[in-house]
Every structure is written in C-alpha cells, then in structure tokens.
Amino acid sequence: MGEHRNRATAKRDVPVMVAIGLIASLAGIALGLAIDWFPEQASKQAEPIDTLWDVLIIVSVPIFVIVCCVVGYSVFRFRQQPGEEELDGPSIHGSTKLEVIWTAIPAVIIAALVVYAWGVLRDIEKAPAQANTEMKVVVHGVQFAWTFEYPGLGTGGKPIKSDQLYVPQGTSVKFLVKSEDVLHDFWVPAWRMKIDAVPGITTSYRVTPTKLGSYPVVCAELCGLGHAFMRQTAHVLTDIGFTNWVSRKNMAAKAPAAAAGGDAGAGGGGATAAIDAKKLFAEGNGTATACGACHTLAAAGTTGSTGPDLTKALATATKDDIREDIVDPQKEIAKGFAGGIMPPNYGDTLSAAEISALVDYIYDDAHAG
C-alpha cells in the first residue's frame, strides 16, 4: 500500500469492478446450481418449484455480488491512508439518474418474479383435467400422529382408515386436512406441498406422486411436546400395488377382532413371545411413537419426563389398567400432567400382540421394586 494513491482518477475503477463482479457472479451461480439443495423430487408439483428456486439463484447471486463488490472495492481503493486523517471525500449529494435506475430495475425484476411465481402457483394447484380421476384422502392430525382416511374405498362405500399413507403413482391426490386439537402441518418434503391442519376448518392441497418409494411425512407446525416425533411414512405404490393394498385392508376389516379380542386377556401367550417389548418401548415400531420418548421406565433405560415415570406411577396398577392407559390415554390423567398429550391412537398403531407384550413388560417392571 504505497503512499497516497491518486483519489481523483476513478476512470478504471468501474470497468475493473464490473469484470470482478461478472466473474464472481458466474462462479456464484455455478456453485448455486451445482449444490444439491432439495430432497428427492417425487411429485409433479416438485418440478416447477425446484425450477423456480434455480431461477431465484440466477437472479439473486448477481445482486449480492454487486453489493459485495462495491463494498469490497471501496474498502480496498478508498480506505483512509496515513496522512489522510483530515481529508474529506467529494461532496456528492446524489444523482437523480442513478436513483431512477436503481428504483426502476429492481421494480421490473420484482414484477417479473411475481408474475412468474403466480404462474407456478396456478400450475401446482391446478385440478386434473378429469375431476373424477382425482383421489381424495382425508388427513387427520392429532397430537402427535396422523391418520389417513380414504372415503368410499372400503367395502360398502365405507372409508378405509390407515396409520400409514398409501397412494398410487401418477394419480392426482387431493388431501383434505383436518385437526382435532391444535395446529399441525401436513408436509411430505419429497412432494414439496405443505398446509396447516387447522381446528374448525378443512384445508387442502393436491399432489401427483411421480416416484415409487417411501417418504417421510413430517409435522411442520409446532404442535406441542411431541412435535418433533410426529413423523410417519408415505408409500407410493403402483396402481396394482395400491389396489392390492385396498383389498388387503378390506379383508382385514372383515375378519377383525379375531386377533385383537382373542389374546386380549391371554397375557403372555405365544403371540407375545416373539415381540421384543423392551425394543418396542424404547424405539417404537416405526409407526407408533416410542413410549420411552416421553416416559421413564427403569428396565428399558428410558428417561423421558414428558409423561409420568411408569416405574413409579404404575406400582399399584393392574394389567387391565395399563392396557386402558395405552389405548385410551385421556380417560385418566396422572396428577401433575396435562391431558391431550399422549397420542390417542395406540390402539391402531400397535397390534394387539404388541399391546399385550407392552402391558406385561411394563407391569413386570412397575411391580419389580
């Protein structure tokens, strides 16, 4: 940094800066487009949204680069040198021409982006050409689980209910989202779309899944203690696979209580022997949230404090009490804890055998000491 550089000649400054800016912008855009930002693109709606993102990267990077270039270049070129402590800059008060330019150009860019985004919005919310080909799924959010209901697909026009989401590939699905307690938000990141589940009203969006596979269903709106654990799975099946799933569901509905009623009172029969109750308690079964996420149980080594400490709280409970606590948790609320927190659907998300295994396991631990 030699002596005073000549402050007056700023002729070369602008071309040099433009050159630096162009190179930095191109590098920035290349980097921005090279990064693998999104999760898998698994719906028709995902494509235009991901493209919008790419366009935004291309528009945004040069704007950021302009700001950084001017700041960086000014610091490099115009910083106060020794001996300039009393020096002032030129008294430039403004330039109407420049101000018009930097009002008008951003306004045009903004207007163009908004028009484009509106087009994308219409695109992703468009109903299919034949409305009758669209499938409807009612999504119920409760603290802290989703239930999916398929109107009209059951035997005799009844709805099918499921704790996992199954949809056929390539069909437009309209989700009607409801909540029974607080706000939730039904989101499958791979499909991009998202909407709150609002008590009192039904919200909706549509998605056409394009890729087979299993994707996480996430609750995206803070809904209380178990919010982080309100996760299920969406399965995209082929048309045939989906039809098979529907008929399997209907078969199961026809011969229902056989399993459930059968071993309810049987206690630790053969059916429960194969189930690892400790693992079930501590980690869940992939559908039902693990008991240990909220409850302490000495034998399972869990330390949750959202719900009562089961080792202590159930010392005098009978097996039937424990079973009732699992399938109908709101019936009796432990002192010092709020109601409405434990998912009410363990009767659905756990098999009868799993419930029996858990009852025995918890009972043994609670009565051990």
Q: How far is the CB of 244 from another protein (least distance, A)?
A: 29
Our CB check for another protein shows the closer of 219 and 237 to be 219
CB of 231 to another protein, least distance (A): 8
Could you tell me the smallest distance in angstroms from the CB atom of residue 275 to another protein? 23
Amino acid 134 reads E
Q: Is 144 helix (H, G, I), strand (E, B) or coil?
A: coil
Residue whose CB is less far from another protein, 10 or 266 = 10
Of 348, 347, 306, the C-alpha closest to 325 is 347
Give the nearer residue to another protein in terms of CB position, either 79 or 254: 79
- Whole-number minimum distance, CB 357 to another protein, in Å? 24
SS3 361: helix
For 268, the token pair is: 């630790």
**Residue 66 or residue 260: which is nearer to another protein going by CB?**
66
By beta-carbon proximity to another protein, the closer residue of 47 and 321 is 47
Q: Which of 47, 52, 56, 53 is nearest to 207 (CA)?
A: 47
Q: Is the dihedral of CA 329, 330, 335, 338 positive or negative?
A: positive
| Residue from 264, 271, 257, 267 nearest 362 by CA | 267
Q: Are 144 and 224 in contact (CB under 8 A)?
A: yes
- Identity of the residue, 156 or 336, whose beta carbon is nearer to another protein in the bound complex: 336
Shortest separation between residue 246's beta carbon and another protein, angstroms: 29
Minimum gap (Å) between residue 164 Cβ and another protein = 18
Amino acid at 330: Q
CA distance 310 to 296: 6
Least spacing, CB of residue 344 vs another protein, in Å:
14
At residue 267, the 3 state secondary structure works out as: coil
Pairing of strands 160-162, 145-150: antiparallel
- In the complex with another protein, the residue whose CB is nearer, 26 or 107, is 107
Residues 6+ apart with CB under 8 A from 62: 21, 25, 28, 29
